[in-house]
Chain A
Amino acid sequence: MSANERSRLRQRYREGRLMYFLMRVALALIVGILGLIVGVIAWRGARELNWEMLTQPPTAGYYLGGGGGICNAILGSWWLAVGATFTAFLLSLPLVLFLNVYARRNGFINRLAVVTRLSLDILWGIPSIVYGIFGFALMLAVGLRASLLGGIIALTLVELPILARSLDEVLRLAPEELYTGTLALGATPLEYAQVLLRQAAPSVPTALLLAFGRGIGDAAAVLFTAGYTDRLPGGLLEPVASLPLAVFFQLATPFPATQARAYAAALVLTIIVLTTGVLGRALSARLSRYVVR
């Protein structure tokens, strides 16, 4: 090997090592920053967090630093996200069954399935503020004011593509033999759907928790549709508070004491979202032992 070749080789290895180094730096940076976010929120929020904040609704002077808490927002967010996740689930279940059972045939119905999947992808990418505006326009059309129901409608639009896509991804993995085998036994497509659902069961909690976490953290969709109130959620047609908006509004006040409470609210929100995420993953790992592969 000539000296020239050897230096060329060294050059190639040096480039590789440099890139390897940069990759590790990039990954360390990502993990570090994400850790920093959780760390900062936890550190600033924990100082403000107390029992009163979690269990009391705001009192009259709350935004000036008076007593009370964000119980209204926690409960409001809970009902918004539960309602939206439930509705989105009711809608996405028949949808994914259509995609994976009935659309297996060729022709028009199969083409419809392709377009449906593309539509879901596109809906998934639409910013939630657009859903917020669309939901608001929808509510104006039917004469509905800012309310829990309005918020649920908008959040359902946000969550539906998330839920439908993650369920669809699971059902698509079902082995072809399951389909042919079930049909060979004389089952109808609907009966195959039942078999398929058992197959998807382990992933349902994960998908639900994922969508729930998305819904509870989304602020832009509920900004005009759910409104905001200091009272506890009263009914479907009354406005409700939500945690992200509680963070946002408290931060927007000029009083440091109230701003500090936004940190606590953000910590509560982060804890809820991270818990649902961890829980979802753990549940699916535990339940997926009985799936046919």
Chain B
Amino acid sequence: MNSTGNLAPNRGASRGTFIQYRARHVISWVTGILFTSLSTLIVILVPALLGALLVRSWTLVSAIPLPRLLIGTEWRPLSGAFGFAPFIAGSLWVTAIALAVAVPVALLGAIYLAEYAHPRTRTSLKPLIELLAGIPSVVYGLWGILVIVPVVRQLAAFTRTDNPTGYSVLSGGLVLAVMVIPFILALSEEVLRAVPQGLREATLALGATQWEVVKHVLLRQARSGIIAAVVLGFARAFGETLAVLMVVGNVVQLPRSPFDAAYTLPALIANNFGEMMSIPLYDAALMTAALILFLIVFSFNFGARLVLRRVGGTDDVSQ
């Protein structure tokens, strides 16, 4: 500041201070432009991913019409038959089982932590669940082989399935359920806690029981947020690769029962990418698989994020 008391120094007072003042602002301005262009790069990354996948899969998609690829059940790369239906069906089966198991359990746990638990219980359990949610998927897969698959094998003995190995849709679904439970739990807990306290108090004052507050007010109020959490869980389960690959059996077929083996889209990519070069169209086919995976996960992510933003929870699971 100069002797006259003005905030911005003027030329007369001190030439050095003036140049310094200008320099600081120019530096700040230039950094701002650099930072802004970097963030533009991040925005471009999503279309870039899509574009790269589109370009690389184009040779297949232009040769065989997309509907035929999507509903085709035959997968014989050597003779040029590329039907993605078994993989899409496998992914859907596994994801459906995972969500059917995970959603009720995670939601009940989230309600308990958000509404019933003692603050001390919450502050000790939540970090624990988040911590364990960070366990690598290959470890979940290994656990699936050691624990889930034998259990499913025992169960399969009681059914009329021709796949007695235990490596099945059900195993994949159960392992995935364990993986997405902490995720859905943490998200829905955030959403539930974002519901204004006044609503709880008003409902309790009308004579409702605590469960009735949850059922009639909180769940209704937080509905869109919880649905978004479940959709995000779906996207996560759908794209999970190794844990599912390790327990699902990897047989190209349309699964008819939970005890059948299956093959998922991510597993298809992971298992075959190394050897794709020698067979015509094979690499384009795997890129198409990645494209389908990307489009499904992207659309679910996009929708759920928009909803969560409107709900206004912090929507952050620190995982």
Contact = CB atoms under 8 A, between A and B. Distances in A.
Pair from one complex: yes
Interface of A: 12-13, 15-16, 19-20, 22-27, 29-31, 33-34, 36-38, 40-41, 44, 91, 94-95, 97-99, 101-102, 109, 112-113, 115-116, 118-123, 125-130, 133-134, 136-138, 157, 160, 164-166, 169, 186, 188-191, 193, 210, 213-214, 216-220, 223-224, 244, 247-248, 251, 262-263, 266, 269-270, 273-274, 277-278, 281
Contacts of B16: none
B142 A266 contact: yes
Interface string B304-319: 0110010000111011
A contacts with B: majority SS? helix
Nearest to A263: B142
Given A95-B35, A129-B290, A134-B53, A19 B211 contact: yes
B35 A98 contact: yes
A94 B211 contact: no
A123 B48 CA distance: 12
Contacts of A218: 136-137
Given A37-B178, A137-B56, 15 more contacts: A16-B210, A26-B108, A27-B113, A41-B143, A119-B42, A121-B301, A122-B298, A125-B235, A127-B241, A129-B293, A130-B239, A188-B24, A188-B25, A189-B32, A270-B139
Interface residues of B, number: 91
B140 to A, nearest CB: 7
B142 A41 contact: yes
B138 A244 contact: yes
B10 interface: no
B240 to A, nearest CB: 7
Contact of B241 (A33, A116, A128): A128
A29 to B, nearest CB: 6
Given A188-B25, A189-B28, A220-B266, A98 B139 contact: no
A125 to B, nearest CB: 4
B241 A220 contact: yes
Interface in B246-272: 246, 266, 269-270
A282 B35 CA distance: 31
Interface stretch (B126-134, B162-170, B198-206): B126-134
Contacts, number: 259
Given A38-B132, A262-B142, A133 B53 contact: yes
Interface in B66-109: 104-106, 108-109
Interface string B137-156: 11111110111000000000
A219 B316 contact: no
A162 to B, nearest CB: 8
Given A125-B232, A190-B31, A98 B24 contact: no
B contacts with A: majority SS? helix
Given A26-B104, A125-B232, A129-B270, A190 B28 contact: yes
A121 B138 contact: no
B74 to A, nearest CB: 23
Contact of B35 (A94, A160, A191): A94
Contacts of A210: 134, 318-319
Contact of A127 (B132, B135, B138, B266): B266
B14 interface: no
A292 to B, nearest CB: 19
Contact of A217 (B34, B49, B136, B314): B136
